[in-house]
Structure 1
Amino acid sequence: MGALIEANRICKRYNQKSNNMELKETSLSIEKGKIYVIEGKSGAGKSTLLNILGGMEKPTSGKVYYKGKSFYDLKDSDQAAIRGEKYGFVFQSFQLIPELTVKENIELPLIFTNRQEKMDKIAELARHLGIENQLHKLPDFLSGGEQQRVAIARALITKPEIIFADEPTGNLDSATTKKIIHLFTRLCNEKNITLVVVTHEKNLFEFPDNLFLVKNGRLQVAQENV
């Protein structure tokens, strides 16, 4: 099976007059249904790598391919369609809109992609994530773990192929973190979704398919295809 996403010698330099790189030359292949964990300290370059893979930040050099097509050479509208329909994003700060209900937050990606889902589909997803009784609440009335589940539901509502998660448990306590990681793992196994996670926490996933370490802007393989 071919790679969903393939990064070929990508790097990122923010100051064009300097030789210092946020991300040094990196190649990486992302396959369907697998869990990829990228560990690293703050400022190591792991979020930059995630943003480039997720179509949010163009590399200074190198190519990122989505199903064999050079992503950043596509039209802006085609890039946006892939990000909106094929990719899901989960962030440390949840990024829920406080004025919207849980249901409305989950529906938000459908508005941007001009898609409609019946309420029973949203309710089914909410049940799957254990937030079916929270749909009419505002985010401020939820716990941190519940807010993260809403963020995950929002990432899943378009039925993406890949979820990109940037420090998804950084604001959660240890007990809630374990529940969220178990949830991520179950979703990947049951729905055959690819998961790419960047984190500063060691051993966040007990059995990732691929484990990497970013140190000083350089990606190192820590564990692969176990």
Structure 2
Amino acid sequence: MNCLNVDLLEIILARLPIKSITTCNLVCKEWKSIVESEFLRELFLSHHKKSHSSWSLICTESKKEVLDHLKYNTLRVVAHTDVGLILICLKSHYLRRTYYVANPISRQCVEIPRPPPPPPATRLRIFRPVPSGLVTKVENGVVIGYKVVVMNTSNIIDVITLLIYSSETGLWGFTTLHSSLLLRRIVWHNPVNVNGSLYWLGNKQCNPAIQVVVSHDFYAESDLCQVLDFPDLDNKADFKSSK
């Protein structure tokens, strides 16, 4: 394929819907290289400035699995992001779960290495890790990184123990977050995900009937959680997510 044909193909592809572009991956290796090129990504974004940054949903990592090859009855979606990526896991014992970050449009996913066992100091206490969220790092409408967040749901008062996988390092790590307010519990599932932060519902230790919002920016250097009260607590203290 000569340069003129390549340029023409890139212009045509950039005007197509994202689902059609991802299908072109299957034509041949040369088309796949064009589809995954940074130039086509920028051309697509400039042509679709007013639309959602769908290009950020494309996975280009070499280590990926096609969802069709997995048994759907063994999978469940455990988290999703504001850019469309989802976190799924194979149903099994929590210490042997396998996680995947999936792209629903291209039907591809990246297998995440299995989490390590808890450190010796943590094993002395009850350790119940559950998948809580998936956060992404986005620049110019393109996903450049993500983190898988697994929470220890036991013994949450002013310290929150997390297992976090980073796509940038390819490693899991234990992280301890500190809350400015004593908490009775955190509703670990279905947090709101916005711009690299997770927002959970929580309950105060001093008054479990009162709910608060607990948040953390996973791309900030701070290990502190923000705790926010809902407005008009005197009239309504029990809030439910609209998701």
Bin of the TM-score, shorter chain as denominator length: under 0.3
Is the helix fraction higher in 1 or 2? 1
Is the strand fraction higher in 1 or 2? 2
Q: Given the two structures, how large is their TM-score scaled by the length of structure 2? A: 0.26
> Which protein has the larger Cα radius of gyration, Structure 1 or Structure 2?
2
